[in-house]
Amino acid sequence: MSGDPPTILVVEDDPGMRRFLRVTLVRAGYRVVEADRGGSALDAAATEIPDVVVLDLGLPDRDGMDVLKELRTWSGVPVIILSARDREGDKVNALDAGADDYLSKPFSAQELLARMRVALRHASRVEGPDQPVFRTGGLEVDLYRRQVWVDGREVHLTPKEYGLLAELAQHAGKVLTHRQLLNAVWGPDYGYEAHYLRVFMAQLRRKIETDPANPRYLRTESGVGYRLAAEP
């Protein structure tokens, strides 16, 4: 195990929020680099090579979305967006533009650290060998054999149900937007048929959740998309 703590680039202009992020992350053992502008954030991303970027969308010099798009032209670093709770359109656009996850303000230190662990797992997975079997709680998805088990019992899924679950499992812990899921499972012509997703997600929940109305694995991100819980 390497002794270097992961480096987190925090991009936030609000000093109070920046302090909260710094204190929380440093206490958890991360190295923190800070930027309060979009321009300096891109400089820091290029020179410090962070393991994860936490990016506020409301910055004084440039829109956070522009910063994200520019960053994505040369870096695959995981990006967690910070956004105001009432701006769901922003979250969807940010995820579609290549953000990995988002946190709605206000959020707790625990929430931040849980998302950080997921982002760092994804960062390390980019180079590491692919793990063909995804496991969380009692759910197991064998992405090679295309088989699914819940609490040791094999579950039979239709190809579309399996496609949805596999896509979510490959990005477990991250939010996938309606458009991303539709594109991945139905194809590029199906960006807006969110009702397909609702139908198939309901079927999938009936097959894998103990209580489909109160799902443990397949979480709804209201107005945005779905997330397969990585640490239920």
The binding site for Ca ion (CB under 5 A) comprises 13, 56, 58
Nearer to Ca ion, 14 or 167 (CB): 14
Nearer to Ca ion, 64 or 173 (CB): 64
Q: Considering the complex, what minimum distance in angstroms separates the CB of residue 128 from Ca ion?
A: 34
Q: Considering the complex, what minimum distance in angstroms separates the CB of residue 56 from Ca ion?
A: 4
Nearer to Ca ion, 11 or 148 (CB): 11
Nearer to Ca ion, 41 or 95 (CB): 41
Nearer to Ca ion, 13 or 209 (CB): 13
Residue 79 Cα to chain centre, angstroms: 8
What does the alpha-carbon distance between residue 185 and residue 181 come to, in Å, rounded to a whole number?
Answer: 6
Please state whether beta strands 31-35 and 101-105 pair in parallel, antiparallel, or not at all (unpaired): unpaired
Q: Considering the complex, what minimum distance in angstroms separates the CB of residue 107 from Ca ion?
A: 14
What does the alpha-carbon distance between residue 97 and residue 32 come to, in Å, rounded to a whole number?
Answer: 24
Which residue has the CB atom at the shortest distance from Ca ion?
58
Q: Considering the complex, what minimum distance in angstroms separates the CB of residue 14 from Ca ion?
A: 5
Query: Which residues, including other chains, have CB under 8 Å from residue 97's CB and lie 6 or more apart?
Result: 65, 68, 69, 72
Of 163, 158, 195, 191, the closest CA to residue 177 belongs to: 191
Q: Considering the complex, what minimum distance in angstroms separates the CB of residue 54 from Ca ion?
A: 12
DSSP structure class, residue 151: T
Helix (H, G, I), strand (E, B) or coil at 227: strand
